[in-house]
Amino acid sequence: LRATDLANMGLARAANIPVVVVGDIDRGGVLAHLFGTVAVLAPEDQALIAGFIINKFRGDPALLAPGLDQLAALTGRPTYGVVPHSDELWLDAEDSVSVSAREVVGVPAPPQGRQWLRIGAIRLPRISNSTDIEALACEPGVLARWVTDPADIADVDVVVIPGTKATVADLAWLRERGLADAIAAHVGSGRVVLGICGGFQMLCERIDDTVESRTGAVAGLGLLDADIAFAPDKELRRWEAPLSGYEIHHGQVVRCAEDGWFDAGGRPGGYRRAGVFGTHWHGLFDNDEFRRHWLQTAAAVAGRHGFSVAADVNVAGRRDAQLDLMADLLAAHLDIDAVLELVDGGAPVRPTITTALRR
């Protein structure tokens, strides 16, 4: 990456890779964004921009045609397709790019039992690995929502504190927002909290961070009787059996007086105190049987005895089906042959957009 630059343009220039700019029309102003994106690039980067794709269009594409004609006239570049919005499509978010406060995660399916299980996932400023929440939301009867305010978790059954790129900084944000007190009250009322990676570290008594924030010792939320110390080298580990998952973190558990939550190669893979659960593992809830068992446990702790898990939800299969749906949309609405020509032939010669101030 280059400073204040579009992602991957440095790589594209280094390897002379043609680039297609994709615009999300759902956000508004897409034609102006596409034109402006090309116009502000250096001539060397503009030379790699082959054309555009419009994403998430709702309505009759014919209504957009005059705008696309004008975009082509202004930039000298074609639009390779207009991909429609699909209510059925649900792909994992790329970290925080598509994670918005108060947004429902995925497409909730009706419950198998008599009750929903409501999850409030904290939308941390520096959130990472949001796919952990999406795996939980695959289950029928689970209504998961991203939250940022204490009022947002007043009526949820489970609070999830997800991973973060900056544990201490996001812990300070929790306190500033009043969420730390709200989470403590949530636990005090007998409901469930789940911390994943950085979120798990926040649940502990003490965090000694001389690596990321370099603030030294910081008090955690104190919901698990454990201490965390940051090591210079990250723990990088992939687990395959009996559960699959992976770890990527500086923080190490240096003291813990809590019960183990699940076994990982003869040692605890996480810790639990009543309705408080913590683990460094990402991808844990992609394990279908484990996810179902934990959701049923969480529902029982929270008093949602009318909640029941489904026996046939497969997260990996669900993701594959979503990718198939995306592929079908692209095949139907893109000029695939033209895009493949870019792969084989490189970036075509396109005009350079120049701008100047008139005084």
β-bridge pairing 19-24 and 117-122: unpaired
> 138 catalytic, yes or no?
no
Tell me the CA distances in angstroms from 11 to 15, 47, 95, 127, 167, one per residue in order.
Answer: 6, 14, 21, 25, 30
Q: What share of the chain in percent tops pLDDT 90? A: 81
**Model confidence over 298-319: pLDDT tens digits?**
999 999 999 999 999 999 998 8
**Model confidence over 80-103: pLDDT tens digits?**
999 999 887 877 666 556 677 778
CA nearest neighbour of 287 among 236, 239, 235, 324:
239
CATH class of this structure's domain 117-305: alpha beta
Does pLDDT of 326 surpass 90?
yes
DSSP helix, strand, coil percent of the chain (3-state; round to 5): 35, 30, 40
Are residues 33 and 59 in contact, defined by beta-carbon separation less than 8 angstroms?
no
In sign, the C-alpha dihedral spanning 261, 264, 266, 267 is negative
**What's the pLDDT score for residue 213?**
86
**What's the pLDDT score for residue 98?**
65
Q: What share of the chain in percent tops pLDDT 70? A: 97
Mean pLDDT over the full length of the chain: 93
Does pLDDT of 2 surpass 70?
no
* The one catalytic residue among 138, 197, 204, 249: 197
* The one catalytic residue among 249, 280, 282, 333: 282
> 204 catalytic, yes or no?
no
**Model confidence over 121-154: pLDDT tens digits?**
999 999 988 889 999 999 999 999 999 999 999 9
Are residues 299 and 157 in contact, defined by beta-carbon separation less than 8 angstroms?
yes
| pTM reported for the whole predicted model | 0.84
**Model confidence over 194-211: pLDDT tens digits?**
999 999 999 999 999 999
How remote is the C-alpha of 183 from its chain's centroid?
22
Model confidence band, residue 241 (pLDDT cutoffs 50, 70, 90): confident
d(CA 12, CA 35): 19
Does pLDDT of 248 surpass 80?
yes
